Amino acid sequence: MIPMVDLKRQYQDLKEEIDAAISNVLEETRFILGPNVNALEGEIAAYHDLSYAVGVANGTDALLLALRACDIKEGDEVITTPFTFIATAEVIALLKAKPVFVDICSDTYNIDTSQIAGKITSRTKAIIPVHLFGHPADMDPIMETAKKHNLKVIEDCAQAFGAKYKGKKVGSIGDIGCFSFFPSKNLAGYGDGGMVITKNKETAEQVKMLRNHGSSKRYHHHQVGHNSRLDEIQAAIIRVKLKKIDQFNKARRLNAAAYCDAIKSKNTILPVGASGCEHVYHQFTIRAKNRDFLADALQKKDISSAVYYPVPLHQQEVFLKLYNYSDKLPQSEKCSREVLSLPMFPELKLEEIRLIADVINSVF
């Protein structure tokens, strides 16, 4: 069986360091906002050449608290992509603001920046680009549009830790960057976790307050907040992996290159890397018109695959009920019918990639 992600292989490689890190937390018995959270925040800020990073409970909360720090409230509009995990838009709805969806570019699966300006209204307050599957969104035109219309830019980097856009790491380009440490992510813990990064001190202090019940001083609460603190054990685990993240991402790129070399079928569309972008391949996602037939063929050979995402957000029942969307977003809709993600993780073996490619080539 070839799984989508084999977390056991990586754990075995890092077992001694991770076990020691966990053991140290247990010995220290400081489990909430302890020294590992504080150290990880400093390390991740430094990795992105920024001054501030704030650990939170998960990637969804990172986005939610970022929106709150930008004062997004009821009736506001936030522009984003419909081709992403629901959390990106869910957090907008939780604040009773409205997600405004812009179609994607079918080559990178990221928001089509040429269509953003046409969706801006007097109620628009922010843009959330998503660096989907590890490929950076086209940030220059997004930042230019945001500056022209006085909009905040919150980067959803849940799938793209370490990716670069024109030499800059994603998350460090907009006003705020948001990360997830879900176990399958490029940089991951063994449970939920998230991080908010920013160059702005006031924004960082606001997120710190919001993650801890709206409090900056114990039992003194300045606003209604959340219980959204990064766990100390997860922080310790992530610190071990952070030291190797560039190595892990390099392995993913090598695996992607091996896939592209081995898949010969003209009936599949392979992922691309846009000029100036350093892809980190959280997913290796191909497109095929007979996607479901291909997935069945892989499954018969005990090879996993997954569809990210089968229903774009503007067609999701929950958002149709809330906002009665009628827009047609043809690229998002077409890609949702054709995409198929193949196994991708740093420890994936070349012979496994060739086996997967052989199935794809034989099917077509």
| pLDDT tens, residue by residue, 134-152 | 999 999 999 999 999 999 9
Is residue 215 helix, strand or coil? strand
Average pLDDT in the 234-253 region?
98
Say if CB 336 and CB 330 are below 8 A apart.
no
pLDDT averaged over the chain?
Answer: 97
Does domain 7-102+109-242 fall under CATH 3.40.640.10? My reply is yes
Q: Is-above-0.95 flag for pTM? A: yes
Whether the per-residue pLDDT at 217 is higher than 90: the answer is no
| pLDDT value, residue 301 | 98
Average pLDDT in the 203-216 region?
97
Q: Are strands 168-169 and 215-217 parallel, antiparallel or unpaired?
A: unpaired
CATH T-level topology, domain 245-363:
Aspartate Aminotransferase, domain 1 (3.90.1150)
Residue limits of CATH 3.40.640.10 in the chain: 7-102+109-242
Average pLDDT in the 170-190 region?
98
Residue limits of CATH 3.90.1150.10 in the chain: 245-363
Furthest C-alpha separation in the chain = 65
On the 0-12 / 13-18 / 19+ scale of CB atoms within 10 A, 139 is buried
Task: Quote the CA–CA distance of 229 and 29 in Å, as a whole number.
Answer: 16
Amino acid at 223: Q
Say if CB 18 and CB 11 are below 8 A apart.
yes
pLDDT cut 90: percent of the chain above it:
98
Average pLDDT in the 17-29 region?
98
**Tokens 């907040």, residue located:** 225
- Give the distance from CA 361 to its chain's centroid: 30
Whether the per-residue pLDDT at 305 is higher than 90: the answer is yes
Average pLDDT in the 181-209 region?
98
Is residue 364 very low, low, confident or very high in pLDDT (cuts 50, 70, 90)? confident
